[in-house]
Amino acid sequence: MIRLFAENPGQANPNLALRWCVDKKTLDELKDRGLRNPQLLLVIAQHPRPYMVKEIERKLVPLDQVMEWLEFNRPGRYTIYATIVWDANDKTNFDAQWLLLREDGKFRKEIFDCNGNFSRTFYTQIDIHSLDEGSLDVVVEKEFFAKEPPPWLNWWVNLWFEAMEIFKPTNQCSFRRRAILAFTIQPIPAFVWVLLKSLMRLFAALAFVPFGMRRISFKPIIHPFDLCLENVWSDIGPSVFLKDKHGNWHFSFITGPIGRGLRTIWRVLTPPPSSEKFERRKEQKELKLARTNSRLLAKQTRKQREKQEREQRELMAFYEELQDVACIGVPLKPKFELLPERRRTFHLRYMDLKAKVCKPFAR
């Protein structure tokens, strides 16, 4: 059993402190399996209607971290699911980080069944490399989000980053960092950037003029923020010297034979490579690759043996320390000050401070 704890889950803060505990039976099973890398997979999802699920985010954190902060960017009702996963040490070669991979905006590894229910058994490899489940419902209120800055300030602060195709800031701290840059050194580089962009686009447009190219666009020169360099020639047409407005060649009776003649000369001057020389190179590469693989295999075998011996020595000590993750029968308060001393890591201290001073923007 995995139990999740949050402060005021019915009126949750968008910077949500989440704490967890695991029953001793689960810890004993992890120890019996000899696992040295248990991680907690946190899945944030919404259920707009029955049999439908919308995954928002997934996060992997070490099980012994005991606490983590989750950032929400929209108000609403959410469900946080948790399960223990680990990297495989067998022939399946399963890596827990695969659970975070996306494809076309969706997670590649399914963890919800056809009815929209959380199920670690839905995907076989997750099933055999996971243990136990837990969940917590939270409602994120709109009034806890940071207020949006004025439109003009938002445009100027994000100007440089939008030009570099970097997403808008998600919280106040990210916005403040950009604002410092925007009002100190950004004005001069921005002016130089606009000037260079306009000149570059002007030269690019003028370079096509002597060749008589049709539909050259000069708009990107006076719209450096809205258009890009490629817009100068994106709709470019054939040269007036070679083709008419209908796309027909003016001198097709001459250009056709010349093109075929040049192609024939090129084929004569570039004979195909010798097959004997090609085979010799191939054999040399295969021999070199085999030697490299042999050395790598020997090195990998030695490292694997040393790793197993080290993990065996550390396993008992690891699970001895992990006992403070075990459930004690009472709700745990998700506060940094109440964590065991050895669990107050720099990462959690930083996240605690960030949650206090960096409110997310509602998106």
pLDDT (tens digit per residue) in 170-182: 888 888 888 888 8
On average, the pLDDT of the chain sits at: 82
Total of domains in the chain: 3
Q: Read off the pLDDT of each residue in 132-152 and give the average, rounded to a whole number.
A: 89
Question: What share of residues in the chain are helix, strand, coil (percent, to 5)?
Answer: 45, 20, 30
Q: If pLDDT is split at 50, 70 and 90, which confidence band does 151 have? A: confident
Amino acid identity at 341: E
**Element (DSSP H or E) covering residue 306:** helix 275-321
CA separation for the pair 127, 220 (Å, rounded) = 54
Rounded to 10 deg, the angle between the 172-182 and 346-357 helix axes is 80
pLDDT value for 257: 66
pLDDT (tens digit per residue) in 268-286: 776 665 566 667 777 777 7
Is residue 277 in a domain?
no
Instruction: Decide: pTM greater than 0.75.
Output: no
Residues 208 and 83 in one domain: no
Q: If pLDDT is split at 50, 70 and 90, which confidence band does 259 have? A: low
Residues 128 and 22 in one domain: yes
Of 330 and 310, more confident? 330
pLDDT (tens digit per residue) in 27-61: 988 888 888 789 999 999 999 888 889 999 999 99
Q: Is the pLDDT of residue 5 over 90?
A: yes
Q: Is the pLDDT of residue 231 over 90?
A: no
Residues 119 and 174 in one domain: no
pLDDT value for 325: 87
Cβ neighbors of 322 (< 8 A, separation 6 or more) are 27, 63, 64
Is residue 269 in a domain?
no
Spell out a b/e string for 21-56, using b for 16 or more CB atoms within 10 Å of the CB, else e: bbeeebbeebbeeebbebbbbbbbbebeeeeebebb
Of 8 and 138, more confident? 138
Residues 85 and 167 in one domain: no
Of the segments 134-143, 293-302, 319-328, which one has the largest average pLDDT value?
134-143
Q: Which domain holds residue 120?
A: 2-144+340-357
Residues 107 and 193 in one domain: no
pLDDT value for 61: 93
